Amino acid sequence: MSFVSVSSEAVAAAASDLTPIGSAIGEAHLAAVAPTTMLAAAGSDEVSTAAAALFSGYGWEFQAVARQAVLFHERFVQALNAGAAAYGSAEAVNAGPLQKLLDVINAPTQALVGRPLIGNGADGAPGTGASGGAGGLLVGNGGNGGSGAAGQDGGTGGPGGLIGNGGNGGAGGLAAAGGNGGAGGWLWGSGGSGGVGGAGGVGGQGGSAVLLGAGGGGGNGGAGAAAGSGGAGGLLYGNGGNGGRGGVGGLDAHGRPIVGGASGDGGSAVGLFGRGGAGGAGSVGMAGGQGGSGGLVWGDGGVGGAGGAGAGGGHGGAGGGLIGNGGDGGQGGSAMAGVHGDSPGRGGDGGNAAGLIGSGGNGGQGGAGIVGANAVNPAAVANPATGPAGQSYGGTGQPPPPNPAVGGNGAAGPQGGNGQDGGNGGAGGDVSAPGYGAPGTQGGNGGDGGPGGPGGGNGGAGGAGGTGSTDGIGSYGNGGNGGNGGNGSGPGGAGGAGGAGGSSVGSQGAAYAGVGGNGGDGAPSGVAAGAGGNGGAGGNGGNAGLLLGDGGAGGAGGVGGIGGTGAPGGAGGEGGAGGTANGDWAAHGYPQDSQDTVSGGHGGDGGDSLSNGGAGGAGGAGGNGGNGGRLVGVGGAGGGSGSGGAGGSGGTGGAGGAGGQGGNAEGGTPDVLGGNGGDGGNGGDGGTGGNGGTAGTTAGTGGSGGLIGMAGSAGDRGVGGAGGPGGPGGAYGPGGAGGTGFLSGSAGANGSVGNDGAAGQHG
């Protein structure tokens, strides 16, 4: 007598999925009507007309068949929906009588031992940490444990009955452990998974199987806490459960990584047959979990978990007692700054084939070396000090102008202290001499910016030139010159900007603009970039079984870390703009009686980058191959040594400063001439690239072969790292635009691009 188990929900879902398929097919048939049934004749002759009619007839015949297919599809979907409704109706009709029958069957055992004969255990309520109920004595899964409240452990999963799986452990509350998974059924059933630990709480252990069934997986640890291990497989047959992942550690108050929780080991197949569970992956700074062992008679060992950052991979589990391969070792974690001395993790060893027949597991690859730190110029400290401004005359509340009417010069800015910017220069004093026949005026010059202090200070900005103005007939006004920007200090200090030239006003005479100050030069940078770290060693391959099997291959060495990038040279300061001249008789955007019509300040030169790229790290050593079986077996190949890391890029040369704009001129006569812009500064030279790291010097040795079988080959040596590219030369400073006027000034010349640095040597 056959037995059919049907889910009405599954049948209804299938019918729902088939409906849009029929719609799509119908749309495709409709789209094919015109191209296949209304073919035009290729020519006007009778043969072409007959051929077109013949093929159009084929199209109509296809459409007739397609309509029948659509009708069949519709009837099929209707039949599925009717069947689902019939099954659902039968379930509803029989649910009451069957439940009453089940209650009668379960009543004696429920009264005697508090467990039903058939049925699943009840789940623990959320937030209570209550354990899951046990499954029925004959058939039934254990209930899941309830989650814990803050500070309360998660509930343990309930055990299965004679046949049934254990319940999963509940999640732990804050700083509390996850619940352990319930045990599988006495005859058949897998253990439940361990619950996840709350923040700071350990993960629950996976439940074990009893006779037939797999162990449950270990629960992941909460933040900074250990994970649970996988449960053991059944005594007759069953795989071990996988270990959980350790909780992450986070960062401390200084931004440094905190080591996380330990990972869980894979469960062993403690019975006759079964594979070991995989070890859990390690969190930051913690090794991967160990793989579980295979069964007493047959079974492969579990693979080791991958190591967290800076930690080793877990070792592979041993193979079965008679037959079985060892598990592969986990990969070592890559290096991370602040974890275990910035060192990478070693690859896990492959598991041995502990019995008579079986191959050893392969060793895990070593972790990659840490990337070298980029060179960084120190951050300069701002300097609030400024050179005193020059004395102004002729304005409200100011003394009358002297003879000659010249404004006071601004004082130079002070040099910065250690690591401090230079002070800005003081502004030149303004001067105004109104009245008929007033003599010419001259604004004071701005003070130069102070040089940056030792240790990377930026240069101070030059002070602006003072304004010279007069309304006397035939008189003239001259703007003062802007101060030059201060030079930056090494390493990498930027040059200060030049001060703007002073403006002038000669409402009934001539006016001449002041010259902008030159930008300061950027300082070279010699900050050393960090070298890449060495790669981690590969794990050793596991040995084969006593009689037959190949040795595991050694793990490859980790790749060396890339060198850091060099720091840039300091940028040149921008040239100051020329002042504005506004005169009725004449207006020149440059100084009076000047042989040079340039009034924009020149941009400062960028500093060279003397900061070379960091050297690449060396590759890690390869692991040794495992030995083959003593009777028949090939030795495992040695792992190749890791390749060297690439060298870092050299630092970029400092950019040249832009030239200042020429002075503008405004007036009522044709004698209105704009000043020429200042030349841009030259870019600094780029730094030299770092040397590539050397390949690992130690490749793994091959394992010995058996009586019949060759020894394993030695590992190959990795390749050296590529030398880092030289740093690009600094960008040129663009020339300043010419000043506007009846005749505008010419733009300044662009500066030169710096030379690119030389590439580093290959490893």
Tell me if 200 sits within 8 A of 223, measured CB to CB.
Answer: yes
pLDDT tens across 513-545, in order?
A: 999 999 999 999 999 999 999 999 999 999 999
> What tokens were used for 410?
């601004």
For residue 35, the model assigns a pLDDT of 75
The C-alpha atoms of residue 78 and residue 403 are separated, in whole angstroms, by 111
DSSP annotation of 490 reads T
What strands lie across the sheet with 431-433, from one edge to the other?
A: 431-433, 468-470, 504-506, 581-583, 665-667
Question: Phi and psi (nearest 5°) for 28?
Answer: -65, -40
Length reported for the chain: 763
Question: What are 511's strand-pairing partners?
Answer: 477, 587
Q: Collapsing DSSP states into helix, strand and coil, what is residue 26?
A: helix
Q: Within 10 A of 417 (CB to CB), how many other CB atoms are there?
A: 16
DSSP annotation of 350 reads P
Tell me if 335 sits within 8 A of 342, measured CB to CB.
Answer: yes
The C-alpha atoms of residue 444 and residue 475 are separated, in whole angstroms, by 18
pLDDT tens across 476-525, in order?
A: 889 999 999 999 998 999 999 999 999 998 878 889 999 999 999 999 99
The C-alpha atoms of residue 27 and residue 42 are separated, in whole angstroms, by 28
Distance, first Cα to last Cα, the chain: 76
The C-alpha atoms of residue 634 and residue 529 are separated, in whole angstroms, by 47
Tell me if 516 sits within 8 A of 325, measured CB to CB.
Answer: no
Residue 372 neighbours by CB under 8 Å, 6+ apart: 529, 530, 531, 532, 533, 561, 562, 563, 564, 614, 615, 616, 617, 648, 690
HSE, side-chain direction, 13 A CA sphere, residue 255: 1
Residue 10 neighbours by CB under 8 Å, 6+ apart: none
Which residue positions in the chain have pLDDT lower than 70?
1-9, 11-12, 15, 18, 22, 26, 29, 32-33, 36-37, 39, 59, 84, 87-88, 90-96, 98, 435-439
The C-alpha atoms of residue 272 and residue 293 are separated, in whole angstroms, by 12
Q: Give the sign of the dihedral formed by CA 370, CA 372, CA 373, CA 374.
A: negative
H-type alpha helices, 532-599: none
H-type alpha helices, 555-639: none
In this prediction the pTM is 0.76
One-letter amino acid for residue 336 of the chain: M
For residue 12, the model assigns a pLDDT of 67
The C-alpha atoms of residue 222 and residue 202 are separated, in whole angstroms, by 6
Q: Give the sign of the dihedral formed by CA 62, CA 65, CA 69, CA 75.
A: positive
For residue 73, the model assigns a pLDDT of 75
Q: Alpha carbon of 735 to those of 340, 500, 574, 757: distances in Å?
A: 53, 16, 10, 25
Residue 183 neighbours by CB under 8 Å, 6+ apart: 142, 159, 160, 166, 191, 192, 207, 208, 209, 210
For residue 2, the model assigns a pLDDT of 46
Domains and CATH numbers, the chain: 8-102 (1.10.287.850), 503-525+550-763 (no CATH)
Of residues 281, 283, 271, 194, the one with CA closest to residue 230: 194
Q: What is the three-state SS of 626-693?
A: CCCCCCECCCCCCCCCCCCCCCCCCCCCCCCCCCCCCCCEEECCCCEECCECCCCCCCCCCCCCCCCC
Tell me if 576 sits within 8 A of 482, measured CB to CB.
Answer: yes
Tell me if 532 sits within 8 A of 614, measured CB to CB.
Answer: yes
Tell me if 375 sits within 8 A of 341, measured CB to CB.
Answer: no
For residue 37, the model assigns a pLDDT of 66
DSSP annotation of 51 reads H
Relative to beta strand 672-673, strand 586-588 is parallel
For residue 418, the model assigns a pLDDT of 95
H-type alpha helices, 414-532: none
Q: Alpha carbon of 308 to those of 148, 304, 354: distances in Å?
A: 28, 12, 28
Q: Within 10 A of 500 (CB to CB), how many other CB atoms are there?
A: 33
For residue 148, the model assigns a pLDDT of 94
Residue 742 neighbours by CB under 8 Å, 6+ apart: 665, 667, 670, 671, 672, 673
> What tokens were used for 231?
């449960």
